[in-house]
Amino acid sequence: MTDHSRRQVTLDEVAERAGVSRSAASRVINNAPHVSKAKREAVQRAVTDLGYVPNATARALATQQVGAVVLAISSDNPQVFADPFFAEVAVGVNSVLEETELELILQLATSSRGQTRLEQLLRTRQADGVMLMSMHGDDPLAQLAEKSDVPVVFGGTPTNFEPQYYVDADNRGGARLATEHLVATGRRRIATITGRMDESAGTARYKGYQEALAVAGLDAGRVVYGDFSEEGGGQAMEQLLAEHPDLDAVFVASDQMAIGAMRVLKLAGKTIPGDVAVVGFNDVALARHTEPPLTTVAQPIQSLGREMARMLLALIAGESPTPLILPTRLVQRASS
């Protein structure tokens, strides 16, 4: 390896080596026009000879563009990251950013410190754009982001307003799919355990459930409100069993909750899917391994990340992309 790595090679050095002015060198680097072929080649040679790499900071200062975008995850609960969801989104985002010169800055806003930083970032434009995944519905940061001067795209939709630019999974459609499947397989007394109703994923899935039952002309009254946790899913199932002992199926708004629910169901002596069919949501890795394996709704998580990044790029380029809703699909396994 060449040992030019000691001190940084500057543009001036390149220019001198190539025997041209700094501006000419600059033009070549940014392949701008108005440079003779001869000079262009001389500069290129100097660049490889010297191992020149432009100083991103200086460039950022001169162009007033940071060269970095932020993936911000705002949540009141650091626990959410135990979920592979986050990682997969990041992979998707990264895959499209890799094609550009942009860096990816990660901003987990769980503590108040983290939130303050995100706020400042939004106010002072320390990034060229922000992708914000807000894990609870009425996040003040979400509002602030929407008003910000910095281009922002949302992952998922806040509950209290509809952002201008977002990409979301089709939670409602997925829930409808799941419930329709239950109807199609002969179930008639279909209950649901909802997610947190302060998250749009929670409300949307509940709506999907209602819609499907309305279309089928079935009663949508067997409802217990859950919290997305395994623990909570179990409790909800107990309550459901007590209030509606006749149920023959349950659509559970997350796999975690479904796992808890299945445990309770088995404890109560119910067979799955014989007595009660169960469908979950998310298709986490665990779903394949439950007893019986869990029918569930899969979301295109990596695509979500990818599309968020693409949308942000478009925004930065001055375009006006339209919001996106990505399709979900039913994954049938033995529990229904």
Partner DNA sequence: CTGAAAGCGCTAACAA
Partner DNA sequence: TTGTTAGCGCTTTCAG
User: Based on CB atoms, which residue is closest to DNA, 125 or 207?
Assistant: 125
If one asks whether residue 214 binds DNA (CB under 7 A), the answer comes out as no
How far apart are alpha carbons 257 and 259 in whole angstroms?
Answer: 5
Asked if residues 27 and 44 have their Cβ atoms less than 8 Å apart, the reply is no
How distant, in Å, are the alpha carbons of 34, 80, 194, 249 from that of 73?
A: 44, 10, 23, 35
Q: In the range 252-271, which residues lie near a copy of itself by CB under 8 A?
A: 259
Residue 33 binding DNA, by CB under 7 A: yes
Nearer to a copy of itself, 87 or 184 (CB): 87
Cα separation values, 324 from 1, 99, 182, 272, 307, Å: 46, 21, 28, 36, 8
User: From the list 41, 45, 51, 61, which residue makes contact with DNA (rule: CB under 7 A)?
Assistant: 61
Measured distance CA(256)–CA(24) in Å, rounded: 60
C-beta neighbour count of 101 within 10 angstroms:
11
Q: By CB under 8 A, is residue 231 in contact with a copy of itself?
A: no
**Residue pair 104/110 in contact by the 8 Å Cβ criterion:** no
Alpha-carbon distance 281 to 152, whole Å? 28
At 136, phi and psi to the nearest 5? -125, 150
User: Which of residues 17, 24, 157, 254 is near DNA by CB under 7 A?
Assistant: 24
CA dihedral 81, 83, 84, 86 (to 10 degrees): -40
Write down the least CB distance from residue 40 to a copy of itself, Å: 22
Distance separating alpha carbons of residues 98 and 111, to the nearest angstrom:
29
Write each residue from 22 to 61 as x if it is in contact with a copy of itself (CB under 8 A), else as -, in one continuous string. -----------------------------x-x-xxxx-xx
Smallest separation (angstroms) from DNA to the CB of 76:
32
User: Considering CB distances under 5 to 8 angstroms, the limit depending on partner class, which of DNA, a copy of itself, none binds residue 125?
Assistant: a copy of itself
Q: Which of 132, 81, 136, 89 is nearest to 107 (CA)?
A: 132
Residue 148: which residues within 8 A CB-CB, separation 6 or more?
122, 123, 130
23 contact, one of DNA, a copy of itself, none, CB 5-8 Å limit per kind: DNA
Contact between 113 and a copy of itself per CB under 8 A: yes
The minimum distance between CB 97 and DNA, in angstroms, equals: 19
* Residues 4-23 within binding reach of a copy of itself (CB under 8 A): 4-6, 8
Each residue 122-161 as x (binds a copy of itself by CB under 8 A) or -, in order, gives -xxxx-----------------x--xxxxx----------
Residue found by looking up tokens 């909750």 in the block: 257
Bridging pattern class, strands 249-252 and 277-279: parallel
Single out the segment in contact with a copy of itself by CB under 8 A; choices: 10-18, 82-90, 220-228, 245-253. 82-90
Q: Does 64 bind DNA (CB under 7 A)?
A: yes
101 contributes a contact to DNA by CB under 7 A? no
Tokens of 1: 């390896």
Residue by residue, DSSP assigns 218-254 as: -----EEE--SSHHHHHHHHHHHHHH-TT--EEEESS
Shortest Cβ 226–DNA spacing (Å): 48
* Footprint of a copy of itself (CB under 8 A): 1, 4-6, 8, 51, 53, 55-58, 60-61, 66, 68, 71, 78, 81-84, 86-88, 90-91, 94-95, 98-99, 103-108, 111, 113-114, 117, 120, 123-126, 144, 147-151, 259, 285-286, 289-291, 315, 318-320
Interface positions with DNA (CB under 7 A): 7-8, 10-12, 20-24, 26-27, 29-30, 33-36, 38-39, 52, 54-55, 58-59, 61-64
